[in-house]
Amino acid sequence: MTSKRPGAQAGLRRHNMSLVMRALAAGEKVTRAAVAAEVGLTRATVSTLVDELLAAGLIEERGAQRPGTVGRPGTALALSETGPAGIGAEISVDHLAACVVDLRGAVRCRAESPAANRGRPAPQVLAELAELTELVAKEARAADLRPVGTTVAVPGLVGRDRGTVLRAPNLGWEDVNVAEALGRETVVENEANLGALAELWLGGHESGHGKLADFVHVSAEIGIGAALVVEGRLFRGARGFAGELGHVPVRPDGPLCSCGAHGCLETYAGEEALLRAAGVTAGPALRTAAEAGDEAALRALEEAGAALGIALSGAVNLLDPQAVVVGGPLADLAPWLLPGVRKELAARVTDRQWRPEDLVTSRLGRDGVLRGAAYTAVRAVLDDPTQWIAR
């Protein structure tokens, strides 16, 4: 059905352009014909859209490909290496980081500085972060990139305005307006949510059911962070608290948790609990101890894995996700942690089709959250290229 109303026409153009951009984001060296087949539009419509996107510098041609195919030899298309880009920034307890990604999601500039941020005045932290983001933005502009938005990842609860940190206990922050300090085009997002979005957008995982669109993403730094992606979208919950896996009870009569309850997952698998049980003082030391076969470290990891598996089996039984993805610093410990998780999942998940390989480790490594933050602005351009063209 087509409508001649201008609003509907504009909406259709925006929608179709986004289809083309996202098809190019998903594939490499794609021709006009391949895009048309993929998105279900006519070749003529796709050619018109492609011409507009080429003129706007959002995509580029990559020489002829496969002459001899039906019709004219198809010229390969790809998202541009210049033009719109996204800035990501990360505030964590022990460091600040910023990076820029281009339309393809590739990291083009990156800066990091160690900082003891726990209890440090927020204006000081934000001033230092602003310096880092300005540094990478300057570098990006020199490479012909145009940053269109900044997303800041924080270990805390973010307000509905997406500019304020309501509460970040590990930083000692309450009601801190980050957008005001860093500029109007800045949004703030919880780090666990960005880890999950990075996996959705850039993770490159497939399951037996195709591209991952339904999954639980677990990461940990100080606390256990988790986020849910349901039907290709981040699930925030009615009040924005979804994903608090760290406070799912593992043993109701277990140790007292910082939240006031007993036996939460965090008291068994949170970093603090894990380091204490292993008898080491920092994450890298834990990995070294595990690699060396240290008995206390191995036992601590096995027990943390079992607790994580118990909590996750509840989530898997409740949500029936395609996969559980372990990311962030937790992924570094996967070789020792995951066997325990797998064992509990195998014993407790009722779905007979759940396979051990449905528990996967993220390929994004420690930069998952930062890349997810940076890609947020890029994703907005892919979703609505007409906004960029209108600039």
Q: Site residues (CB under 5 A) for Zn ion?
A: 247, 257, 259, 261, 264
Q: Rounded to whole angstroms, how far apart are CA atoms 276 and 273?
A: 5
Nearest to Zn ion of 56, 245 (CB atom): 245
Q: How far is the CB of 235 from Zn ion (least distance, A)?
A: 21
Q: How far is the CB of 250 from Zn ion (least distance, A)?
A: 10
Specify burial of residue 170 (Cβ count, 10 A radius: 0-12, 13-18, 19+). Answer: middle
Phi, psi of 64 (to 5 degrees): -75, 150
Q: Rounded to whole angstroms, how far apart are CA atoms 167 and 170?
A: 9
Q: Identify which of 359, 72, 91 has the alpha carbon closest to the alpha carbon of residue 205.
A: 359
- Is 56:48 a contact under the CB 8 Å cutoff? no
Nearest to Zn ion of 259, 285 (CB atom): 259
- Is 223:95 a contact under the CB 8 Å cutoff? no
Find where tokens 């990076």 sit. Answer: 99
Nearest to Zn ion of 258, 386 (CB atom): 258
Q: How far is the CB of 129 from Zn ion (least distance, A)?
A: 29
Q: How far is the CB of 246 from Zn ion (least distance, A)?
A: 6
Nearest to Zn ion of 270, 385 (CB atom): 270
Q: How far is the CB of 221 from Zn ion (least distance, A)?
A: 16
Nearest to Zn ion of 97, 250 (CB atom): 250
DSSP letter, residue 257: P
- Is 25:382 a contact under the CB 8 Å cutoff? yes
Q: How far is the CB of 243 from Zn ion (least distance, A)?
A: 14
Q: How far is the CB of 304 from Zn ion (least distance, A)?
A: 15
Which regions of the chain does DSSP assign to beta strands (E)? 59-65, 74-79, 83-91, 95-101, 107-114, 145-154, 157-158, 164-168, 173-177, 186-190, 206-207, 210-211, 215-220, 224-230, 233-235, 323-326, 359-361
Q: Rounded to whole angstroms, how far apart are CA atoms 98 and 150?
A: 10
Nearest to Zn ion of 240, 249 (CB atom): 249
Q: Rounded to whole angstroms, how far apart are CA atoms 145 and 103?
A: 9
Q: Rounded to whole angstroms, how far apart are CA atoms 140 and 92?
A: 23
Nearest to Zn ion of 122, 245 (CB atom): 245
Alpha-helix residue ranges (DSSP H) falling in 239-384:
266-269, 271-278, 283-291, 295-319, 334-348, 368-383
Question: Both tokens of residue 45?
Answer: 């419509």
Nearest to Zn ion of 268, 375 (CB atom): 268
Nearest to Zn ion of 25, 218 (CB atom): 218
Q: How far is the CB of 51 from Zn ion (least distance, A)?
A: 56
Q: How far is the CB of 324 from Zn ion (least distance, A)?
A: 20
